[in-house]
Amino acid sequence: MDDMGWGDLGVFGEPNKETPNLDQMAAEGMLFPDFYSANPLCSPSRAALLSGRLPIRNGFYTNNMPGRNAYTPQNIVGGIPDYEILLPELLQQNGYRNKIIGKWHLGHQPHYHPLKHGFDEWFGSPNCHFGPYDDKTTPNIPIYRDAYMIGRYFEDFVIDIKTGESNLTQMYIKEATDFIEKQSKTGQPFFLYWAVDATHEPLYASSSFLGTSRRGLYGDAVRELDYGVGQILMALWTFGIAKNTFVFFSSDNGAATYAKTQGGSNGPFLCGKQTTFEGGSREPSIAFWPSHIKSGQISFQTGSLMDLFSTLLDLSNISLPADRPIDGISLKDVLLNGKTIERPIFYYRGDLLMAVRVGQYKAHLWTWSNSWSEFKNGSGVDFCPGENVVEVTTHDQKNHTLQPLLFDLGADPGEKYVIKPTSPVYQKHMPSIISIVKEHLANLVPGVPQLNLCDDAVMNWAPPGCEKLGRCLPIPKSNPSKCDWPH
């Protein structure tokens, strides 16, 4: 999902109980309350999921300014490097047919596209559905069928900004079920990456779901996506492959709390998307595999979306790349045997290691919510609306590396109560956490940052396929410059 929060599912306590299919999926599978993305923002999170590596390693970060988030808007020059080995590439080499439906967000220039990186099919877009634009100063985002553009958001694929009505999610559902039907008939193993985006602003839902939620348009989008998950699972049963198909549900980052009622819920967790507090990267996660994963389980394994890289390769009997560090771990024993594996979780914001979790304890090396320039002294964007933890949710970067802030996420999931450095708990756990941080940083070799340069000339003026449609736009002169990342 895109910007869906931990607290958006009924099974995680959302009081309106509007996600019956996902709640049933959890009842019949394994629920992960302690599962994380590798970054609190879309593009780096997705790069980490598909590469099994932290964004600081795969290049999906910026070092234009320390500790700043970055992603892939239309004018970004970079994208997923060719030297990164993605999950679909390894699956493809071993006989799988792979399809991505929805948002790619790992670079929009043609050499970065999904079909160049292990996918056989694509229906969706390279960027987020921002707009509408005027196709003169800024082009609308293209929608692709495989390697070629077939139209643009707000022009050919309509999202009504006033009402929120759009049929896109229904298109994405049909693409998924048709692909499952086709693959079930061929018998060829497949990997389906359903990366839908209706819970990202501008929100949308089809006519049959508009106005049906007690949560407004955001809830309408969640209800339709829940329906989509139900249709996908039903297709697996209908075509007789449910017991031989591993399914995992999650989100790319925490809910966009700055959108207030137009965004999701992160449950009891502090702040949301963009931050390295729990609300930024703790994700609603469910594993489902009838006849393999016992129903009704809850695992307190501290997991990461990067683990899907290692886990799916392990389940497919495919070896991990041996020439690079892989941050994801295999959860095979967790899924099939109910085991738990000790491992740290590293929270990065751009090039800066902000925090680390070991067991149920989390140490913040740096804290802040968002910059004063973005917050605008109370009149602008706020990543922690209605929340204030003194000296923690600040608009200046606070350096705690000499004496990290420690929280007990078991007793204090909202990160509201700092454990005193003089306490026995702090003195017991902090030395081992610091040792883990030092080892991690000592062995870290950052990748070449891909999110530093912006240039209007690389925008979606003339995507592949525009010639056939007669929809190519004139490309402006190249003028690259450093991107400005206020967050």
Q: Name residues whose C-beta falls within 8 Å of residue 423's C-beta, 6 or more positions apart in sequence.
A: none
Could you tell me where the beta strands, DSSP code E, fall in 57-120?
97-103
Q: Which of 42, 128, 384, 454 is catalytic?
A: 42
384 flagged as catalytic = no
DSSP 247-284: EEE--SS---GGGGGGS---TTSSS-TTSSSHHHHEEE
Rounded Cα distance between 334 and 135, Å, is 49
Residue 129 buriedness (CB in 10 A; 0-12 / 13-18 / 19+) = buried
Residue 296 buriedness (CB in 10 A; 0-12 / 13-18 / 19+) = exposed
Question: Max alpha carbon distance in the chain (Å)?
Answer: 70
Q: Name residues whose C-beta falls within 8 Å of residue 106's C-beta, 6 or more positions apart in sequence.
A: 43, 46, 47, 50, 60, 72, 79, 80, 112, 117
Q: Is the Cβ–Cβ distance between 147 and 124 less than 8 Å? A: no
> Cis (ω within 30 of 0) for the bond into 132?
yes
Q: Is the Cβ–Cβ distance between 30 and 340 less than 8 Å? A: no
Query: From the DSSP assignment, how many helices (H) and strands (E) are in the chain?
Result: 12, 18
Rounded Cα distance between 111 and 98, Å, is 18
105 flagged as catalytic = yes
Q: Is the Cβ–Cβ distance between 247 and 335 less than 8 Å? A: no
What does the block give as tokens for 191? 């990997």
DSSP 296-358: TEE----EETTHHHHHHHHHTT-PPPSSS-------HHHHHH-------EEEEETTEEEEEEE
Rounded Cα distance between 383 and 79, Å, is 26
Cα 73-78-82 angle, rounded to 5 deg: 135
Rounded Cα distance between 405 and 126, Å, is 39
Q: Find the Cα–Cα–Cα–Cα dihedral 39, 49, 152, 457, rounded to 10°.
A: 70
What distances in angstroms separate CA 219 from CA 169, 210, 223, 232, one per listed residue?
A: 14, 9, 6, 20
Residues noted as catalytic: 42, 105
